[in-house]
Structure 1
Amino acid sequence: MTKTPDSAVRSYIDQHEAGFLQDLADWLRIPSVSADPGLAGEVRRSAQWLAAKLSETGFPVAEVWESDGLPAVFAEWPSDDPNAPTVLVYGHHDVQPAAKEDGWATDPFEPTVIGRQLFARGAADDKGQVFFHTLGLRAHLATTGRTAPAVNLKLLVEGEEESGSPNFVALVRREAERLAADVVVISDTGMWAEDTPTVCTGMRGLADCQIDLAGPDTDIHSGSFGGAVPNPAAIAAELAAALHDADRRVAIPGFYDGVVELTDEERALFAELPFDEAQWLRVAKSYGTRGEKGYSTLERVWARPTAEVNGIWGGYTGPGGKTIVPADAHLKLSFRLVAGQEVEKVREAVRAWVAERVPEGIRHEIVFPGATRPCLTPLDHPALQSTVRAMGRAFEQKILFTREGGSGPAADLQDVLGAPVLFLGISVPSDGWHSVNEKVELDLLRKGVEATAYLWGDLAENWPRA
């Protein structure tokens, strides 16, 4: 396969950038705030707008998919190569709430370009990063002479991500056959910095719970009964204190079963990043680091499982004293999970650990809400290597690697579809996701366009053939 000259791709983007930005601005004007029931119609209008624009781009299939909540958009464009891999691109078209009076310098739903920055709600999270795929695909076709993509290309653009994706798993399961893919590309992510382009290789999962402890039927006098009956508040404190050992490892037996350990290569790649721990602490509004012994700060937040006490309460908290043994106490815990950990096994381990530590005379209940599994793409996966090469061509420099400490719907796609997940995004920390004055750097947006123009051909060429 003849490699498309980078100059041809850049020339095509130059010629079509103005129209691309005008279309993006039209989309950004739609206040598709999924958290506001009064704006449900705008979320629907956003979905309809995108489906129409994807049809205009050339997708032979572009549909609004209904869910039990707000609609998603699905599009599909098969390759003319019967052996081409299938790629599913994920993003979302709903946005966080925003109003001028929140402190915005401009109207959040009237896109404003200042210098080489575009300010609007959704500019980075996530409409801008969804939309760069349209121009990137057009550049791919125009500069290769193709009439269809080099890969079987599918898009799934969710409408409820900013509301916690309550109906997403059900939608993916319902449409699993049409969403089937060899690899999933998430374009709802970012890079380390403008001058440090990176690719994310994984996200931690999440399991959390509330532990309710009940002792006496009512608060009782601590002078008459204290020291002779178990105190639920003291038991809650004991559980919290016992959560970690002296090396700050989670002390729940079985918690680390299956954990995929960091390789020396991965640790070396993390160490290449220009990490300023003092600056990181300022962002964290904290005054010192603490965590599992033997790991760096980045390794702790990206690649190690954790347990956190999110809240602990019980008994009297009003002014003055009230000498009681309280009737009940409560504890909220969350566990960040890494590749190899299974949510249900972690839950079983927590249940057993609590049951062993709660004394006679204390009744307890543990409630686990929904959970998210972790995802991790091996460094040698062909799709990841194609993404790195495509971004390297766009940025003309070495691409470094990160992971994400948080969780998202990526793992749902991985679990239901059985396809590896990788991340392609160009947003930077200063873009202000979920904050006032959200923006996207136009030069980086162009890099996203350019990277996708290279990606599909590289992926098709380097995908393992049977």
Structure 2
Amino acid sequence: MHMDVRAYIEAHRDEFLSSLKEWLAIPSISADPAHHGDVRRSARWLADHLSATGFPTVELWETPGLPAVFAEWPAADPAAPTVLVYGHHDVQPVDPLEEWETRPFEPTERGTSLFARGASDDKGQVLFHALGVRAALAASGADAPPVTIKLLVEGEEESGSVHFAELLAANRDRLACDVAVISDTTMWAADTPSMCVGMRGVTDVEISLYGPDRDLHSGSFGGAVPNPLKAMSDLLSGMHDDDNRVAIPGFYDGVVEASEEERALIGRLPFDEQEWLATAASRAVWGEKGYSTLERIWLRPTAEINGMWGGHTGAGGKTIVPRSAHAKVSFRLVPGQEPLRIQECVRAFVEANTPDGLRVETEFGGGVRACASDLSSGALKAARAAMERAFGTQVLFTREGGSGPEADIADILGAPLVFVAVGLDEDRIHAPNEKVEVPLLLKGAESAAYLWEELASAGR
């Protein structure tokens, strides 16, 4: 079977690329109201393509904003596991346009690369699943896949997934699954295939401290009344201890520590700290004592001061005690940290560290939970085995330091997450000249073809 899947994919390479280019030509920018019609056109294109692929059920799901696409292909065996594949068909804006070497919506091949907005994030990685299921059926000679496959491809991921959680909740029964496959992330490198096994969560707060009812003359009043900026600087500096751990009481309660196995696999990644520092346009590493740079980005929670202001910031001196001080702080979260509980810890910490005579206000943003795969789960082992069959080498583990709507899938559908993706950091997603490596997309399709078989075996 191994060669059959690969041979099918190779035989249909040009047809796959032709379809992908057609889809990439649709400027489905969800953040720009002028392109909302294109996002709808993109959804219809995908629905038609999935119908042509053979999915017996294909539907456009409306939201108060832009539509998602749902498709389902039941397994021949009703007892087989059900797999939900998540991706998105909307794309980022293209500014600054003058930095593109080719037009963003005129897909262009150069060598092994395909350049277009959405090539890697996420149209290429959605479409390889359609090729993968056809390859699996061609190799097995069956009329239906060995697992029930459902696809949910949203149209608002690049503008915040604002209606996604309610879409999941409203369609919980239709979306019921044993595992969710996410194809919207990256691998370590083309020659170092890896699986993402977690993403951090996030929440944020704006803190305001109010002192005197007006700015005061610092000669007449300074040193005799509390200064909001002094109090704010003390408050913010108190958020970390000498080991650069977050010093907010209760912050680490319930944190699920990464396993030694995962830390060892992260340690095997070919990471060049000096190269990374150059990418970060920074001159030194910093962070929680006892952890490597990658562990700090992927495995540990953070408190990051995003901005602070107050008092006189114009030209020249102005000797005042300012009336107020403000700061924005964001917190990246790891499994075991609930955004609402973290907000309560932060609120209590801020109130406990506000001096008498100052009034404090805290305004919290939303929150996204962290998500992580269980490394011992049958689904993760199946996905890793499928990728190792396709790539012919060991697949390592990474995490993502950022956050996304994937945690909603885990929470609302109660399904474990498995990340099968072939994007690269150098694909320049969200930037000018986004591209994808065509050989990796074909490996993605091959991984997907093997995945259904591996998951069917794991489910038995």
TM-score (ref. length: structure 2) = 0.99
Q: Aligned runs of 1:12-411 on 2, under 5 Å?
A: 12-98=8-94, 101-411=97-407
1:360 Cα deviation after fit: 1.3
Judge conservation of contact 2:65–2:163 (CA < 8 Å) in 1: yes
3-state SS of paired residue (2:325) = strand
Deviation string, structure 1 residues 132-157 (Cα, Å, up to 9, x no partner): 00000000111111111111111111
Deviation string, structure 1 residues 350-397 (Cα, Å, up to 9, x no partner): 111111000111111111111100011111111111111111011111
1:263 Cα deviation after fit: 2.0
Letter in 1 for 2:107: P
Deviation string, structure 1 residues 56-110 (Cα, Å, up to 9, x no partner): 1111111111111111111111111121111111100000112683311111101
| Matches of 2:90 and 2:102, distance apart in 1 | 20
| Matches of 1:148 and 1:93, distance apart in 2 | 25
**Paired-residue identity, %:** 60
One of 2, 6, 9 as aligned partner of 1:6: 2
1:301 Cα deviation after fit: 0.6
3-state SS of paired residue (1:406) = coil
3-state SS of paired residue (1:237) = helix
Q: Considering only aligned residues, what root-mean-square deviation do their CA atoms show, in Å? A: 1.0
Letter in 1 for 2:63: S
1:216 Cα deviation after fit: 1.1
1:346 Cα deviation after fit: 0.8
3-state SS of paired residue (1:451) = helix
Letter in 2 for 1:349: C
Judge conservation of contact 1:99–1:108 (CA < 8 Å) in 2: no
Letter in 2 for 1:414: A
3-state SS of paired residue (2:439) = helix
Moved over 6 A (4+): none
Judge conservation of contact 1:78–1:148 (CA < 8 Å) in 2: yes
Q: CA, structure 1 residues 146+256, in 2 after alignment: closer, same or farther (shift >3 Å)?
A: same
Unaligned 5+ runs, structure 1: none
| Matches of 1:365 and 1:183, distance apart in 2 | 42
Judge conservation of contact 1:104–1:436 (CA < 8 Å) in 2: yes
Deviation string, structure 1 residues 422-450 (Cα, Å, up to 9, x no partner): 11110111111011111110111110010
Deviation string, structure 1 residues 197-242 (Cα, Å, up to 9, x no partner): 0001101100111111111111111111111111111111111110
Residue in structure 2 matched with residue 443 of structure 1 by the alignment: 439
Deviation string, structure 1 residues 224-261 (Cα, Å, up to 9, x no partner): 11111111111111111101000111000100000111
Judge conservation of contact 2:340–2:367 (CA < 8 Å) in 1: no
3-state SS of paired residue (1:310) = strand
| Matches of 1:431 and 1:279, distance apart in 2 | 17
Number of residues paired by the alignment? 460
| Matches of 1:10 and 1:420, distance apart in 2 | 28
| Matches of 1:265 and 1:13, distance apart in 2 | 34
Q: CA, structure 1 residues 99+211, in 2 after alignment: closer, same or farther (shift >3 Å)?
A: closer
| Matches of 1:206 and 1:17, distance apart in 2 | 39
Q: Aligned runs of 1:407-418 on 2, under 5 Å?
A: 407-418=403-414
TM-score (ref. length: structure 1) = 0.97
1:266 Cα deviation after fit: 1.5
3-state SS of paired residue (2:418) = strand
| Matches of 2:343 and 2:242, distance apart in 1 | 23
